[in-house]
Amino acid sequence: MTVTSVRTELYSQVQHFYAHQMQALDGGRFEDYAATFTEDGTFQHSPGAEPAVGRAGIVAELVRFHERFADDPVQRRHWFNHIALEEQADGSIRSTVYALVVTVRPGGVPVIAPSCVVHDVLEASGDGVLLRSRLVTHDQLS
Amino acid sequence: MTVTSVRTELYSQVQHFYAHQMQALDGGRFEDYAATFTEDGTFQHSPGAEPAVGRAGIVAELVRFHERFADDPVQRRHWFNHIALEEQADGSIRSTVYALVVTVRPGGVPVIAPSCVVHDVLEASGDGVLLRSRLVTHDQLS
Amino acid sequence: MTVTSVRTELYSQVQHFYAHQMQALDGGRFEDYAATFTEDGTFQHSPGAEPAVGRAGIVAELVRFHERFADDPVQRRHWFNHIALEEQADGSIRSTVYALVVTVRPGGVPVIAPSCVVHDVLEASGDGVLLRSRLVTHDQLS
């Protein structure tokens, strides 16, 4: 296996980017989550879904998705593992990451489902990392 | 979202620090775990608990907690995810980390609970990282 | 606790190596997985098993292991956590890592078992990382 040589600095930067990004999502800070995408970034949370486009579109989709939980004091935690990066010819970075969703309700025990794979395209610059696109596939639908 | 720019070296160092620290805890090496705190470090394993203070105090609290498992061949593994760092004005580093506790008994299957968030304050120097304080919150108590 | 000081670059490199390696294994790319070992590398997936030796031997063992799942559309995901490295006197690196196996079938929910510890010996050079040996212990057998 040829592991694409990726700069150490980039690898740490992407890990840290994901940590802040997913804590924003799980904390209900949808504007912060959307701001991790490029201006015209796309977010598709399952292969069958219509992608949300642009930061305002991503916020709208997240608000819509969470409406059904308005009266449900659920806490979600998106866990990531095995971040595999590949630099693309156009300078972007393909990132393939395992994900598990942990769901907890008051007094309950964690439910860990679904198991997913996150397919990201990232842009990295001196200013940091931004997400050009995210598609999430679900193992139970394979 | 403004992701605090944290030096690559620090980010790797903190990840590695946690790996050794939590393997020490799960391996029952409480002195080693306590030694990852500053001399006057505090450890509060749930918001309702009295914090243990200082290395000897932390060891005493861990011994006390584990007494009930003296005849129970349980193996715990504390998993961490999404280490989000923020440098503070005083030079310390705030670290917010997801945690899941995996518990296994001989012949059994893993039980994964509770889901927690670890709130650390770290001190980093040329000599390495030390923990000034740790507070663990539990999602099912939120 | 004295945390062995490991170069930042090496730590990121090992994390990234594992990400690609385990995505290869879970993707059924056994040749790619075997190529992450040295020519004479050994792979022992449980303490009671005979170690597979060399890349061809590792591929053969993986093919044999997966024959029983030929008609079973199962997706496995090996999660890793808390990679703790220790540099050895001979220049190799001992790596001790937590692992959980996530198993998903179509329409099903993830089953998370067993909980393991991966005991690796790695060789790092300017060309990258290779695995000299891997032994996996299982918590429920302890």
Q: The complex's ipTM?
A: 0.95
Q: pLDDT category, B111, cuts 50, 70, 90? A: very high
- Which amino acid is present at A70? A
- Cα(B40)–Cα(B8) distance, rounded to whole angstroms? 28
Q: d(Cα A109, Cα B102) in Å, to the nearest integer?
A: 12
Query: For every one of its 142 residues, what pLDDT tens digit does chain C have, with 9 covering 90 and above?
Result: 444 567 778 999 999 999 999 999 999 999 999 999 999 999 999 888 899 999 999 999 999 999 998 899 999 999 999 999 999 999 999 999 999 999 999 999 999 999 999 999 999 987 899 999 999 999 999 7
Q: Is the pLDDT of residue A5 over 80?
A: no
User: How many Cβ atoms from other residues are within 10 Å of residue A47's Cβ?
Assistant: 12
Report the C-alpha gap between C117 and C138 in whole angstroms: 6
Beta bridge partners of A118: A97, A136
Check A142 against C80: CB less than 8 A apart. Answer: no
> 3-class DSSP state for residue C20?
helix
Asked if B4 has any chain C CB less than 8 Å from its own CB, the reply is no
**Chain C neighbors (3+ CB pairs < 8 Å):** A, B
DSSP string, C15-30: HHHHHHHHHHHHTT-H
Contacts of A19 in chain B (CB under 8 A): 82-84
Which residue in the set B96, B112, B141 is minimally distant from A110, CB to CB?
A: B112
**CA–CA distance, C65 with A25 (Å, rounded to integer):** 39
Q: pLDDT digit string (tens) for A92-117?
A: 999 999 999 999 999 999 999 999 99
- Whether A125 and chain B come into contact, CB under 8 Å, resolves to no
17-56 of B, contacting A, C-beta below 8 A: none
> Domains of chain C (ranges plus CATH)?
8-141 (3.10.450.50)
- Express each pLDDT in B51-95 by its tens digit: 999 999 999 999 999 999 889 999 999 999 999 999 999 999 999
